[in-house]
Structure 1
Amino acid sequence: MEKITRIGVDLAKNLIVVHGVDSMERVAVRKAIPRQKFLEWFANLEPCLVAMEACSAAHYWGRKLRALGHEVRLIAPQFAAAYRKGGKHVKNDRLDAEAICEAASRPHMRFVALKTADQQNVLVLHRMRSGFVEERTALVNRLRGELFEFGVFLPQGIDAFRAHFIEALEDGTTELDGIARAALLAGWHHIHALDEQIAWCDSQIAARVKHDANAQRLMAIVGIGPLTASAAVATVGDARVFRNGRQFSAWLGSVPKQASSGGKTRLGHITKSV
């Protein structure tokens, strides 16, 4: 068998599918490997190029494979999908692995930078914080909505909610009974617990950026604070993967969606809120 030069990997929780080719682009291996034996299988291979979609656990597996001597490249799922036989209408793990393998061979393919464990650790803080904020917002709206059902109208905004909630809850002229008031009060206490979790995340992020030179450089820009700087550094890693600021803006999504053809430029809405 010819030496395997490139492998496409379709990651999954339990069974991982690989599709490998040799230097002549002939299929050299196509198989499914149990997750527990995945690294063992690659440890017995000569170093080669290994491509995966930038999906869940891809950065973890990428670091492990790189430690074994392989060259690892991560591809955005939408870029790999363009090479799948059957397009959108035919999809399975083997076709996905083959498409990833093919996409990795394209000379102008854009790849996702492999994140370090430290980057992912910081992103855990940001994702947990975002989750706490979303949960707090949902809970505030829920409590406001429940009071609304009893003719109690609180103004919009979390600061106004904090200022008037207890007063509204203790208003004896409403039809709220003791059990309903107790339930709403429990929600109020949960909001305070979420406040503490969010504040803890903020303090941890602020402590980390003090020792991060890249984050400090970003914070020198007016309007960028610890949260934005920390998130940008942890998400991007090495900014040299972008040729210029325009490419970085496009990656962020802070540019109009484009659907131009036939010499006509058609610009739509901003593709992502940042």
Structure 2
Amino acid sequence: MNKCKTIGIDLAKNTFYFIMLDKQGKQVERKKLNRQQLIGYLSKLETCVIAMEACGTAHYWGRKIGQLGHSVVLLPAQHVKGYLRGQKNDYNDAKAIAEACQHGAIRPVAVKSLAQQDDQTFLLMRQHVSSDRKRLINHVRGLLAEYGVVLARGSQVLRKSLPFILEDVENGLTDEFRALLFRQYTQLERLDEELQWYDERLAEKVKQKDVCQRLIKVPGIGPVVSFSLRAWMGSGEQFKRGRDASAALGLVPKQFSTGGREVLLGITKRGNQQLRSFVVHGARAVVSRADGKTDRLSQWILRLVERRGFNKAVVALANKIIRIAWVIICRGESYKAPAAV
């Protein structure tokens, strides 16, 4: 039986390269295995730490390897790159992963369960349908403008106007273009029906999950944001505090400090771009409606808007929302609305 401390695996589609390091960080062995050999070889090893980049198929292999009794560590690829030395090749990549894991300075990514991957797949497919519909609407509006038919912004304006445009014989549109426009209209209707199915299914999922029901009570969090937060954060145990969660989502200032002089710039925009956008838009809705309210949160928002401006107050509230969400998810608590001042 081979004894090892850390194994770094460079994942690929069919061929896997790995480097084995002992407790002192010295290279003990290196191997090249195909997809069929990997699990069989790892099953013969004594329990050790196996590190991989959090890239495509990483969660699948993390679950499979974890079932063998090994400790699986997934590391963000952008942070592992700093440990790469010499020429870039598969063995050096695997060694960089192993050394980054042994160093222990990089926060690992939690291995997602099948249920978490199902939830993320659902959200990705919903976003794909929504993006397709948005692109189609903009495409049709642009085509109509080329024929002299200019419509106001908004998807509802286009939906209501298209039937009348198709039936109007005096708008100068050719029969060829009407036929093409009709096909685009039917495609838009199909996308509307598809997105409606996802929204109905999302509402059902949110009702069935206690965590989502507790998250919805937080100002700025609705069904989509609550479900997305739960899918992204999981159990929340990978973060020591709520501040770490907000930093992982990119809602903290970017630093460019040197010589004792601290310079804070805009937010880092790390992590899940779509979720961050959802949270910021939810926070913007809360900030825009805070005027005239007397509860502590609204008063805090109004003071922040007066002192730092509307947009910075929105980001600050988004940061606070993520911190609150972490407490709700990780500690199982419920949100209590702040009392009036």
TM-score scaled to structure 2, two decimals?
Answer: 0.76
Q: Which AA in structure 1 matches 2:265?
A: G
Deviation of the 1:266 alpha carbon: 2.2
In structure 2, the partner of 1:24 is 24
In structure 2, the partner of 1:210 is 207
Percent sequence identity over aligned pairs: 40
SS at match of 1:73: strand
Q: Which AA in structure 2 matches 1:38?
A: L
Please say if residues 17 and 33 of structure 1, whose CA atoms lie closer than 8 Å, have aligned partners that are also in contact: yes
SS at match of 2:254: strand
Which of these residues, 224, 228, 231, is aligned with residue 227 of structure 1? 224
In structure 1, the partner of 2:288 is none
Which of these residues, 91, 107, 111, is aligned with residue 110 of structure 1? 107
Please say if residues 25 and 102 of structure 2, whose CA atoms lie closer than 8 Å, have aligned partners that are also in contact: no
For residues 25 and 220 of structure 2, what CA distance do their matches in structure 1 show?
A: 50
SS at match of 1:112: coil
Q: Which AA in structure 2 matches 1:105?
A: Q
Q: Which AA in structure 2 matches 1:36?
A: Q
Which of these residues, 78, 86, 94, is aligned with residue 97 of structure 1? 94
Mapping of residues 1-274 of structure 1, within 5 Å: 3-86=3-86, 90-272=87-269, 273-274=276-277
Please say if residues 20 and 30 of structure 1, whose CA atoms lie closer than 8 Å, have aligned partners that are also in contact: yes
Deviation of the 1:176 alpha carbon: 2.4
For residues 222 and 159 of structure 1, what CA distance do their matches in structure 2 show?
A: 27
SS at match of 2:97: helix
For residues 127 and 142 of structure 1, what CA distance do their matches in structure 2 show?
A: 22
Please say if residues 2 and 46 of structure 2, whose CA atoms lie closer than 8 Å, have aligned partners that are also in contact: no
TM-score scaled to structure 1, two decimals?
Answer: 0.93
Structure 2: segments with no counterpart, 5+ residues:
270-275, 278-341
Structure 1: segments with no counterpart, 5+ residues:
none
Deviation of the 1:2 alpha carbon: 5.9
Deviates more, 1:243-252 or 1:66-75: 243-252
For residues 84 and 11 of structure 1, what CA distance do their matches in structure 2 show?
A: 16
For residues 183 and 265 of structure 2, what CA distance do their matches in structure 1 show?
A: 45
Q: Which AA in structure 1 matches 2:197?
A: W
Q: 1:175-203 CA deviation, whole Å, 9 max, x = no partner?
A: 42222211111111111111121121122
CA RMSD of aligned residues (A): 1.6
For residues 268 and 159 of structure 1, what CA distance do their matches in structure 2 show?
A: 38
For residues 254 and 173 of structure 1, what CA distance do their matches in structure 2 show?
A: 53
How many aligned residue pairs are there? 271
Please say if residues 25 and 99 of structure 2, whose CA atoms lie closer than 8 Å, have aligned partners that are also in contact: no
For residues 20 and 149 of structure 2, what CA distance do their matches in structure 1 show?
A: 65
Q: Which AA in structure 2 matches 1:261?
A: T
Q: Which AA in structure 1 matches 2:239?
A: F
Q: More helix by proportion, 1 or 2? A: 2
Q: 1:144-194 CA deviation, whole Å, 9 max, x = no partner?
A: 111111111011111222222222233323342222211111111111111
Deviation of the 1:244 alpha carbon: 2.2
